[in-house]
Amino acid sequence: MAHKASKYQRHLAQIIAAAGLCLLVAGVFYWQRAMGQRHRTSDLNNRIASINQTGLEIADPQQLKELVEKANQQNLYLPEVEYALLYRQWLQAVTLFDELRDTLDNPYLAERAHASAADFHANLMQLRDALAESLADNPNLPLNWQWRFHNLKGNTAVLLAYSVLYHEKDGRKGAKFLTDALDDYKIAIRQVDKVSLSSFERALPRWNLELIVAVGEYRRLGLSEIPPADISRVQEQLQTYIPEAPGFSPGAPAETRVEK
């Protein structure tokens, strides 16, 4: 009996020792993993701080993409970096828009204008999809960033309205994009009012919203389609009053007053 008890105690001691060793190994593993995560997070924060010193808007796109990839590896979402990338795409779209306007004014560049319009529309659709995806995939995105994404998405929809009116002469699509723009601007206004004390920030989506409504593009667009006879007129108005990401519009003086 004593021999069996002693054997049982040895087996029990071995099991306890093995369990302790497993716990020790697991503890070391998780400690190393936590330290690695901490180091990666610290490195990520340092890189963001370094880029912030020069400004996210003018940072190297490749650096921003690398930050997004590293954040994804850590299951993190960096709205400021994501927004900076999308903002750069917006600036590229505005540049292409300016080039498109130049070609439209030159009858000898009709073929080039057609190709530019196709690229312009494709880039805008990609940007709009990316903005919609960022909002849909991050429902807990802070309101301080949500309103910026909605404002930029609204601006993109305005450019898309211009694009389909010029490229496709499609009044129904044009009205749909303008409706989308108004919806995004209204959401942005509600959100920025909740989180920002800056009168400048609170005015941005309002400026963009009123620039559309005031010049008459949307005065009758409770309708689902821009009448064919009005397409050229609306296109010309949009060409003048395209909103920039921060507000205001290229080609329109800062002292422009909206109709009430």
Write down the pLDDT at residue 129.
Answer: 95
Angle at 238 between CA 236 and CA 244, to 5 degrees: 140
pLDDT for residue 192: 92
**pLDDT (0 to 100) of residue 130:** 94
pLDDT of residue 152: 93
The percent of residues in the chain predicted with pLDDT above 70, rounded, is 53
Query: Residue 244's closest CA among 90, 85, 89?
Result: 90
> What's the pLDDT score for residue 150?
94
| The predicted structure's pLDDT at residue 187 | 94
Q: Which residues of the chain have pLDDT under 70?
A: 1-60, 71-72, 104-111, 113, 213-260
Query: What's the pLDDT score for residue 9?
Result: 61
Q: Which pLDDT does position 127 carry in this prediction?
A: 94
pLDDT of residue 176: 86
Q: Is 167 helix (H, G, I), strand (E, B) or coil?
A: helix
Residues 6+ apart with CB under 8 A from 161: 173, 174, 175, 177, 178, 181, 217, 238
Q: Name the residue among 235, 243, 84, 253 with its Cα closest to residue 170.
A: 235
The model's pTM: 0.70
Q: How far apart are the first and last CA of the chain?
A: 101
* Residue located via tokens 């890189």: 47
Neighbours of 239 (CB within 10 A): 17
